[in-house]
Each structure stands twice: as C-alpha cells, then as structure tokens.
Structure 1
Amino acid sequence: MKALVIGATGATGKDLVNQLLNDKEFDEVDIFVRKPVDIQDEKLKVHIVNFEKPEEWKDMVNGDVAFSCLGTTLKDAGSKEAQKKVDFYYQFEFAKAAKDNDVEDYILVSAYGANPKSKIFYSKMKGELEEAVKQLHFNKITIFKPGMLERTNSERTGEVLGSRIIKFANKLGLLESQKPLPTNILAKAMIKSSKIKSNGYSSIKLGNIFCFAEKTNE
C-alpha cells in the first residue's frame, strides 16, 4: 500500500511515519511538509510544499490511504485566524486533493469534544473540519477523537502540566476515562484502522487506552 501523510513533523506524525516505514504492508510513504526533514528511508518520499498553493501539489496526493494529523496551537499560530488556516484550511485542501485523486481511505485526527456548534473556538473548528471532510464522500473515513495526548519531549507547558495532574489522579483511581493517550499508541491505532475494511461506527482499544474512531460511508 501507499500511504500519504500530512502533519508528519508533529509528535503523532513522527510516530506514524516511523511505524509506517516499519510496516511491511506499506511499500511507499509520501509525506507533505513545509521544509526538509531529517528522515531517510528507501520507502519514504518527501514532498516539500507550500500549503498556501494547493494547485502546485494537489496532483501528488495520490495513493491508497491518506493520514491527516496536522495541527498547531493558538500560541504557536499567533492568532485564531492563523490557527484555523493550519487546522482547517490546509487539512481540507489536502483531503479535497485526496478525494479528487480517488484515494479511497481517509484517516483524520480530530479532537475529543469536536462539534461544529460548539461555542469553544477549537472544538468548533475541529467539528467544522470533520463535517467538511465527511461531505467529500470518501469510500471510507475514519475520524479519531483523542483527548489529551502524551507527546515525547513535549514543549507544550500546559499540556505537560495537565498530563501530570491527570496521571496523578489516575493513580488515585480518578479520571480514568481521561487518561493521556501516548502518540505512538494513537499512530498504531491509525495504521490498524487503515487495514480494517468494514464500515459503520467502531472503536479501537489498545492496551488500557481507549480511542474513539468514527467511520462513515456516505
């Protein structure tokens, strides 16, 4: 199989790409990034693109399964408008290109609580992206909605602190449903979902980590 990945330089994306390169069922992994990456593998093909100009790279989004795990924070983006450009528009253009090139399987990392009617900016944005991608009518769409992610060597202070608090609560038998999800486990679940050919709603459980996956065939 040929995998297409957007968001390959983020925590989840790095784990995903590493696992795809080590998976014998994938013979090619194409990643779309803004600058060169320090990864070399005979199965890897790096496309350095300007996400502002999808007309320059849309024809290269061609393969069997597309993984979208791109995202940024409001702090890193600098404004809500800049964050939405990355978390919504760039991802939607990638999804649209995949659909136009007959990619049948689309896997999107969204967020717990995503809802297009939410009054919370981030949740609303993620919900709007989910709905927009669904309207492209892929043969198969899998949407992961993880809660707090546990990233290796994370520099997100708030996320690290929140994770520590929840882990402490977990030790006391509290907030078990909110246990932080390691990005390598999420990546593993994403790859596993790409190998499932069934439709309808399903969930994937790995170890004691639970991650919801919504599959639609519209």
Structure 2
Amino acid sequence: MSLTLPQASGIRLLLLGATGLVGNHVLRQALASPAVSDIIAPTRRPLAQRNFNLKKLSNPQIDFVNVDPCAREWEVDAVICALGTTIAKAGSRDAFRQVDYEYPLKFARLARARGASVFALTSATGARPDAYFFYHRVKGELEQALSQENFGSLIFVQPGVISGAREESRPGEMALKLALKVFSPLLPRRWHLNPAPEIAARLLQSVVNPQPGITLIPASEMAGKRRTF
C-alpha cells in the first residue's frame, strides 16, 4: 500500500489523548512543526488554551462512547494515539480496557475508513497478546488488532517508565522513577527512564516521515534523550 501524505502543504493530524503527559507534548511539538497543517484533538473537556495556535488546532468535545462516524474530524492523513490510563485510575479492568483498547481501535477504524494511512501508538515495553500482566496483555492485543487494519504505516512506540510531571499523583511510579534514576548508570538502556518529550518527538517524527509496514520503537532508543522536532 502506498503512502500519500501531503508533505508540501502539511499533514492533517488526529491526536488522541492530548490532555495526557505524552499527548500534551505531542500537541505542543505538532503546533510548532511546519510539517503539520492541522491538528484535530478531540477531548472530553476543553484543552487549556495556553498560547496555542487556534488556527491550526481544532479541539472538539466529544463523547468517546458515542461518536459520530461521519464527522469531519476523522478525515485525516495520520493519527497519533497517546490515550492511556491505569487500572487504579480507571477503577476496574473493564474500564481500563475500554480506554486502552476499545477507544484507540475505534478511532483507528474511523480514521482508516476516511482515508488515514498512518497510525502511531504509544504502547509499552513488554506488550504481547500472551503477556502475563494484564496491562501488557491489553497493549499487545491492541497492537495485534491494529495490525489487521491495513494502515500503510503502523508505528508502535514502546516506552518503559515515562519521566515527566503528571497532573495526578502516582506514588508507586514516583518511587520507581527515583530508583531508576539513581541506578541508571548500572542498568541496561532499556531500563532507563524515557522522557515524555522524547516519546512525543518519536511519535511525531514517525507520522511526518512514515515508513511502510510496521515499525517498532523500543524503550532503549528513547532512553535519556530529550529532543525537539
């Protein structure tokens, strides 16, 4: 399948999860990138408008359960999905699966049906359909399902522990981040912290310059870096 992104005029990008840690960095980088002409960032609540280029950004408030399949929002060239939660925050395994599996797959199918040829997903290290841990199993099942959607370019960015300031408190994650930071000189690169801006940059780079087929970007390639794009 050929890739037909309008590089001369910039791509029309659908960004899912713009209110999250990684998604917010994607939003800022995409707004600053001349390679992106339009950003559609659907959210449940309005984004805080902090010096955003409103001519470039569309922020429709939607019901993620009941979306309009005919809405123009899905007419895009590429999709970046940074949707994600935790079982603790979601409240149950079913609720977690809805956010981390059902929503991304639903939007992938909507965008693909309207012509999108590129999809980049924030997945996770250890994502496998047969993974022992539920979190990694759901991520793996999503990767597997997306592989069947016939995107010309499909990118799985698989970070380990993500560093960056979150709005909500995650004491266990903070303790793990501290330990990894202290012992990072002794650890393999795949166990180093992955800065949220670097993950965002890899997601954006992968849709602006897509490669045919499936691309995996492991945690080791994002360890300890912080770049702009």
Q: TM-score, normalised by structure 2?
A: 0.84
Give the distance between the partners of 1:43 and 1:60, measured in 2 at CA. Answer: 13
User: What corresponds to 1:161 in structure 2?
Assistant: 175
* Identity between Structure 1 and Structure 2 (%): 26
The answer to which of 86-95 and 193-202 deviates more is 193-202
User: What corresponds to 2:5 in structure 1?
Assistant: none
Native 8 Å contact 2:158 2:217 kept in 1: no
Give the distance between the partners of 2:17 and 2:154, measured in 1 at CA. Answer: 18
Q: Which amino acid aligns with 1:161?
A: A
Q: Whose RCO is larger (CA < 8 A, sep 6+)?
A: 2
User: What corresponds to 2:103 in structure 1?
Assistant: 90
1:38 CA drift (Å):
0.7
Matched ranges for 1:145-156 at <5 A: 145-153=158-166, 155-156=169-170
Question: What 5-or-longer segments of structure 2 have no aligned partner?
Answer: 1-10
Q: Which runs of 4+ in 1 moved over 6 A?
A: none
What root-mean-square deviation, in Å, do the aligned CA atoms of Structure 1 and Structure 2 show?
Answer: 2.0
Give the distance between the partners of 1:117 and 1:199, measured in 2 at CA. Answer: 26
Indicate the SS of the match to 1:54. Answer: coil
Q: Which amino acid aligns with 2:36?
A: F
Which structure dedicates a bigger proportion of its chain to strand?
Answer: 1
Give the distance between the partners of 2:223 and 2:95, measured in 1 at CA. Answer: 37
Give the distance between the partners of 2:110 and 2:128, measured in 1 at CA. Answer: 24
Give the distance between the partners of 1:58 and 1:127, measured in 2 at CA. Answer: 29
1:149 CA drift (Å):
0.5
Please point out which of 77, 80, 86 is paired with 1:64.
77
Structure 1 residues 128 and 44: CA distance shift in structure 2, 3 A = same
Please point out which of 2, 5, 24 is paired with 1:14.
24
The answer to which of 52-61 and 145-154 deviates more is 52-61
Q: How many residues align structurally?
A: 209
Matched ranges for 1:89-128 at <5 A: 89-128=102-141
1:58 CA drift (Å):
5.4
Question: What 5-or-longer segments of structure 1 have no aligned partner?
Answer: 211-218
Q: TM-score, normalised by structure 1?
A: 0.88
Please point out which of 41, 50, 62 is paired with 1:49.
62
